[in-house]
Amino acid sequence: MILESKKSVFIYNLSFLALVCAISMDLFVRGYPEKIFYLVSYVSFIYTAIYFYKHRSIQSLDKPALFFFVTLFLVGASRLSWSLIFKHTEFGDIRSNYFTGGKRFMIAAFLLFYFYQYRTLLKQNILKLSLIIMFLGFFMSLWHGDLTLSKEGMRDKWTSDAATTGAYLAVIYSMVLIIAIRACFKDGLISVLLLVAAFLTAMGMIVMTQTRSAIILAPLLYAVFFAYYYGCVSLKIKISLVLVIVLSASSVVYLAWDRISQISTEITEYSTNNDTSIGARFSMWSAGVHSIEPSLLGQSVDQRYKKAIDYIDQYQRGNPEAKRNVVYHLHNDLLETFSLQGICGFVSLMMFFISGFYFSLRKGALENYGTLFIMLPVFILGIADTVLIQSNTVLVIIIALALSFPLMKKKQH
């Protein structure tokens, strides 16, 4: 256990609160979450340097954790170097997102090291205050989304670039919230009631986006979380919560049925009509595989775009929906990374997922922290969409991971 001065304890708890505020306002405020993130990052640089100055050897460090942090740096380095090598492009927004996202991934290595290594300094009253702030942020996001929906009558996206991205951020945010709830109140009645409140709010936000993958995934994540962390509660409470999850999920499915029912239709009709959301994904995945440049550093967006468009025209009946979307990404994180950033980018991203899951699932891990429930949605949602392309999404994921570390037990088993 790290024994630190009152000043270090104060700074750590203030940094924790700062990141809580950043993620809590991210869906309805622009600019400030990023500023807070960078300010806390400066603190993490200083304390990481202090730690290595005091502890010259890395033998005492948690090796799986250290490897996880190194992979974050490698992902960032790959993205940043790619954006600098292929900076002359017509697709400036894509290059800009990878440039900013790359920097944030590299910063994350230090930020997460700081939050992990000094995690025992977190005070219980700060954790409770953080819960209040996060719930306020969640409710404000829901209210903001309702206002936007009422005025514009469109699928809500909050401050993100698309409704789907907004849904993914809501899912990740809600995971941070329930991890904090479990850490603060264990498996008591208050914890269960707050879990229900978080679930209902999350589903309310997701239904505003009409995002099918999030509608299906969120209830499953909550069910798995409850089954693992609330196994000791009474049978009556278990049945009650199962009913709440089932009824709420059913209501959301009913409200979004038009979108959900299209999945089967679009898959069935793919051979005759591929100009659909699902059809576009199939076409883009095929085009993405075809456009992969098997080199260390990859290729420019312009080169990939030309290959993908030519393939869609030649082999996918000129799928209009695919051609509209392939300009931006390929609807799959690994494929997107491999097709642009080559072998280095693909390997670094694979290492990030492998090390993250190993860190989260090793012996005693699930009892101590909830990083698995941050990694899972990022990976699963990234199978059918490109989650890690937008720099703000990267910001939220990094903050979510950092906030899950201080919620560990005092001692690793």
How many folded domains does the chain comprise?
1
Distance of CA 92 to the CA centre of its chain: 24
Q: How far apart are CA 374 and CA 382, in angstroms?
A: 13
Residue 190 burial (10 A CB sphere; 0-12, 13-18, 19+):
exposed
Please report which confidence band the pLDDT of residue 407 belongs to, taking 50, 70 and 90 as the band edges.
Answer: low
Cβ neighbours of residue 14 closer than 8 Å, sequence gap 6 or more: none
Rounded mean pLDDT of 329-348? Answer: 96
Whether 304 has a pLDDT exceeding 50, the answer reads yes
Looking at the chain, the whole-number percentage of residues with pLDDT higher than 90 is 70
Q: How far apart are CA 282 and CA 315, in angstroms?
A: 12
Q: How far apart are CA 239 and CA 245, in angstroms?
A: 10
Please report which confidence band the pLDDT of residue 413 belongs to, taking 50, 70 and 90 as the band edges.
Answer: very low
In a domain, 246, yes or no: yes
In eight-state DSSP terms, residue 256 is T
In a domain, 339, yes or no: yes
Tell which phi-psi region holds residue 45, choosing left (phi > 0), alpha (psi between -120 and 50) or beta. Answer: alpha
* 289 within 8 A of 335, measured Cβ to Cβ: yes
**The two structure tokens encoding residue 124:** 């219980």
3-state secondary structure of 363: coil
> Quick check: pTM over 0.75?
yes
Q: What is the pLDDT of residue 292?
A: 94
Looking at the chain, the whole-number percentage of residues with pLDDT higher than 70 is 96
pLDDT in tens, 107-145: 999 999 999 999 989 999 999 999 999 999 999 999 988
Q: How far apart are CA 283 and CA 277, in angstroms?
A: 10
Q: How far apart are CA 205 and CA 179, in angstroms?
A: 19
Please report which confidence band the pLDDT of residue 411 belongs to, taking 50, 70 and 90 as the band edges.
Answer: very low
Best mean pLDDT range from 107-111, 257-261, 264-268: 107-111
Q: What is the pLDDT of residue 231?
A: 86
Rounded mean pLDDT of 52-57? Answer: 82
Q: What is the pLDDT of residue 39?
A: 98
Residue carrying structure tokens 């930020």: 111
Q: What is the pLDDT of residue 9?
A: 95
Q: What is the pLDDT of residue 410?
A: 40
In a domain, 369, yes or no: yes
User: How many Cβ atoms sit within 10 Å of the Cβ of residue 318?
Assistant: 14
**The two structure tokens encoding residue 24:** 């809590």
In a domain, 280, yes or no: no
Q: How far apart are CA 94 and CA 354, in angstroms?
A: 26
> Angle formed by the axes of helices 6-25 and 124-152, to 10°?
20
Q: What angle do CA 46, 48, 50 make, to 5 degrees?
A: 70
CA R_g for the chain? 22
Structural domain including 211 reads: 6-262+331-407
- Tell me the H-state helices in 330-371: 333-361, 365-368
Cβ neighbours of residue 348 closer than 8 Å, sequence gap 6 or more: 71, 74, 75, 77, 78
In a domain, 285, yes or no: no
Whether 290 has a pLDDT exceeding 90, the answer reads yes
Q: Distances from the Cα of 135 to the Cαs of 21, 23, 95, 142, in angstroms?
A: 11, 11, 35, 11
Whether 368 has a pLDDT exceeding 80, the answer reads no
In eight-state DSSP terms, residue 29 is -
DSSP readout, 6-25? HHHHHHHHHHHHHHHHHHHH
In a domain, 311, yes or no: no
In a domain, 287, yes or no: no
First-residue to last-residue Cα distance in the chain:
13
pLDDT in tens, 339-363: 999 999 999 999 999 999 999 998 8
Please report which confidence band the pLDDT of residue 412 belongs to, taking 50, 70 and 90 as the band edges.
Answer: very low
* 83 within 8 A of 373, measured Cβ to Cβ: no
pLDDT in tens, 179-221: 999 999 888 899 999 999 999 999 999 999 989 999 999 999 9
In a domain, 274, yes or no: no
Rounded mean pLDDT of 313-328? Answer: 91
